[in-house]
């Protein structure tokens, strides 16, 4: 049956060719839109890992959202200068049901960074959370448990600091300066273990490991009382990674009931994913329209084939071929046409997508290293082929049913 279906598909080569081309257009478009969604979501996943792990809340006394509006003044509420977390606040957070651990974010203010005896440059210090995966251009991740001072510098720091190249930066030593309470500048040397690349968020700050961050904080607060040292801008609250969205929402509500603001990593970057998913959904809509047009082409092609082979169908049924076999024969023709169109469409889509990604990565998107605009995986590619073949099969059922129901006597009389 398969051999007969393939042979029958090429009886009218021109008609089959145009039908395959119509399916090719739909499969090609669907491959590119699916690849775009895969590429962008992979980039967002990488960025999420660089921002922090997915089982943490960032808790503060103030709303850190960039679009937060001013709030009415409430008597008794902390003033702007006092909106910090204290040791008592950390204990309050730790007592909330669902909280596994609380880690304060040390408010370290750096003066400058310098390599060797070169020029000093200002920059910001980031915070490293255990489990965090920085988006690296080279090197390795920070070791949060190492007692040695480690740092990951942004790729944009390499040239200004005079290091030379990204590879030369690995293993080099940079000096970090902070000002102590007496106004004296104090410095700490740290070893560069990695170089981070810029993403939609992150990748622009120098990130220390826990030992280095604590050393800089101690220098900056040397001589302070224990109470004065225990004042933090924010804290990282870790919860069970297996928590459902409803449980995370309940935990956030509990934290906010205590007078804090809480944000997950998804809250910080989820809007990017929503926009991208919407765009991909709209683009997929255009691809589906093209596939529906191709489906009409399949219906037309096979209906014409049924009409032309009426006497042949009558002869096959008169010789004992059951209707289900006739139905299967024409359905296999539709599947074969769909397979041809999807094979060429997906193959061309992958080649064109990789070419577009390479060109954009070297040009328009060069400021977003690590972004592959159109990316593919085996699952999505196979899904496109299966979807196209399913559409082709459904389109072929109408002419296949018509052929299966033909009366053999009437078919033999057909002129």
Give the integer Cα–Cα distance in Å for 217 and 297: 70
- 167 and 315 part of one domain: no
Among 220, 252, 268, residue at a domain's last position: 268
Q: What is the pLDDT of residue 53?
A: 63
Quickly count: other Cβ atoms within 10 Å of residue 78's Cβ: 12
- 263 and 338 part of one domain: no
Model confidence at 405: pLDDT above 90: no
pLDDT, average across residues 36-51: 71
Minimum mean pLDDT among 29-38, 130-139, 212-221: which range? 130-139
Write down how long the chain is: 415
* Cβ–Cβ under 8 Å, residues 33 and 284: yes
Q: By C-alpha distance, which of 108, 130, 152 is closest to 52?
A: 130
Token look-up 């509006």 returns 69
Model confidence at 39: pLDDT above 70: yes
- 303 and 396 part of one domain: yes
Quickly count: other Cβ atoms within 10 Å of residue 68's Cβ: 10
Across the chain, what does the average pLDDT equal? 81
DSSP conformation class of 261: E
pLDDT, average across residues 1-19: 79
- 39 and 128 part of one domain: no
Q: By C-alpha distance, which of 180, 61, 65, 52 is closest to 126?
A: 52
Q: What is the three-class DSSP state of 178? A: strand
- 85 and 102 part of one domain: yes
Strand ranges of the sheet holding 261-264, from the earlier edge strand across to the other edge = 99-105, 234-239, 56-60, 261-264
pLDDT, average across residues 197-204: 62
- 155 and 177 part of one domain: yes
pLDDT band at 392 (very low <50, low <70, confident <90, very high): confident
Residue-range definition of the domain harbouring residue 223: 56-268
Give the integer Cα–Cα distance in Å for 124 and 87: 25
Question: Exposed, middle or buried: residue 362 (CB in 10 Å: 0-12, 13-18, 19+)?
Answer: exposed
Among 222, 238, 268, residue at a domain's last position: 268
Kindly report, residue by residue over 224-281, the tens digit of the pLDDT.
877 777 888 788 888 887 888 888 889 999 998 988 888 887 776 666 667 777 877 8
In the chain, % of residues over pLDDT 70: 86
Q: If you compute the radius of gyration of the chain from its CA atoms, what whole number of angstroms results? A: 32
- 356 and 241 part of one domain: no
Q: What is the pLDDT of residue 211?
A: 92
pLDDT, average across residues 24-35: 87
Instruction: Pull the structure tokens for residue 204.
Output: 């622009």
Among 234, 268, 302, residue at a domain's last position: 268
* Cβ–Cβ under 8 Å, residues 195 and 153: yes
- 85 and 37 part of one domain: no
Q: What is the three-class DSSP state of 187? A: strand
- 290 and 234 part of one domain: no
- 185 and 277 part of one domain: no
Q: What is the pLDDT of residue 66?
A: 47
Q: What is the pLDDT of residue 170?
A: 93
Minimum mean pLDDT among 284-298, 324-338, 401-415: which range? 401-415
Token look-up 């990695």 returns 194
pLDDT band at 78 (very low <50, low <70, confident <90, very high): very low
pLDDT band at 79 (very low <50, low <70, confident <90, very high): very low
Give the integer Cα–Cα distance in Å for 385 and 14: 23
Q: What is the pLDDT of residue 202?
A: 52
Between 411 and 170, the higher pLDDT residue? 170
- 307 and 371 part of one domain: yes
Q: By C-alpha distance, which of 194, 204, 47, 48 is closest to 121?
A: 204
Q: What is the three-class DSSP state of 48? A: helix
Instruction: Pull the structure tokens for residue 139.
Output: 């090197």
Determine the distance from the C-alpha atom of residue 364 to the mean position of all C-alpha atoms in its chain, rounded to a whole number: 20
Give the integer Cα–Cα distance in Å for 141 and 103: 20
Question: Considering its fold, how many domains does the chain have in total?
Answer: 2
Kindly report, residue by residue over 104-151, the tens digit of the pLDDT.
888 888 889 999 888 888 888 887 776 677 778 889 989 888 999 999
Compute, in degrees rounded to 10, the torsion defined by CA atoms 296, 301, 303, 305: -170
Kindly report, residue by residue over 273-327, the tens digit of the pLDDT.
677 778 778 877 877 787 787 788 778 777 777 777 777 777 877 888 888 888 8
Exposure b/e, 218-240, CB count within 10 A at least 16 = b: bbbbeeeeeeebbbbbbbbbbbe
- 37 and 109 part of one domain: no
pLDDT, average across residues 28-45: 81
Exposure b/e, 266-277, CB count within 10 A at least 16 = b: eebbeebbeebe
């Amino acid at each position: 049956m398969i051999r007969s279906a393939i042979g029958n598909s090429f009886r009218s080569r021109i008609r089959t060719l145009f039908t395959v081309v119509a399916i090719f257009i739909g499969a090609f478009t669907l491959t590119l839109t699916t690849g775009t969604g895969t590429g962008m979501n992979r980039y967002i996943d990488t960025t999420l890992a660089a921002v922090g792990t997915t089982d943490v809340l960032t808790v503060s006394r103030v709303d850190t959202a960039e679009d937060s509006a001013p709030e009415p003044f409430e008597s008794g509420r902390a003033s702007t200068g006092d909106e910090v977390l204290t040791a008592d606040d950390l204990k309050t957070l730790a007592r909330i049901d669902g909280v596994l651990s609380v880690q304060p974010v040390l408010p370290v203010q750096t003066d400058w960074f310098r390599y060797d005896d070169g020029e000093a440059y200002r920059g910001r210090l980031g915070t490293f959370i255990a489990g965090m995966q920085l988006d690296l251009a080279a090197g390795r991740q920070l070791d949060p448990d190492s007692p040695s001072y480690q740092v990951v510098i942004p790729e944009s720091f390499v040239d200004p600091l005079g290091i030379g190249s990204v590879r030369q930066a690995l293993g080099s030593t940079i000096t970090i300066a902070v000002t102590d309470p007496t106004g004296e500048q104090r410095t700490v040397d740290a070893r560069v273990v990695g170089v981070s690349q810029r993403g939609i968020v992150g990748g622009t700050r120098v990130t220390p490991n826990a030992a280095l961050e604590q050393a800089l904080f101690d220098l900056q607060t040397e001589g302070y009382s224990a109470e004065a040292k225990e004042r933090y801008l924010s804290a990282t609250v870790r919860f069970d990674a297996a928590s459902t969205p409803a449980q995370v929402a309940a935990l956030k509500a509990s934290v906010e009931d205590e007078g804090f603001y809480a944000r997950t990593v998804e809250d910080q970057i989820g809007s990017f994913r929503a926009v991208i998913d919407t765009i991909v959904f709209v683009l997929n809509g255009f691809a589906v329209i093209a596939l529906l047009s191709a489906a009409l082409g399949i219906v037309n092609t096979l209906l014409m084939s049924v009409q032309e082979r009426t006497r042949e169908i009558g002869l096959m049924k008169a010789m004992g071929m059951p209707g289900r076999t006739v139905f299967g024969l024409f359905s296999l023709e539709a599947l074969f046409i769909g397979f041809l169109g999807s094979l060429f469409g997906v193959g061309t889509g992958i080649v064109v997508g990789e070419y577009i990604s390479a060109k954009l990565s070297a040009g328009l998107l060069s400021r977003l290293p690590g972004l592959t605009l159109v990316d593919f995986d085996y699952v999505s590619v196979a899904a496109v082929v299966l979807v196209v073949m399913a559409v082709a099969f459904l389109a072929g059922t109408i002419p296949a049913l018509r052929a299966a129901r033909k009366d053999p006597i009437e078919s033999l009389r057909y002129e």
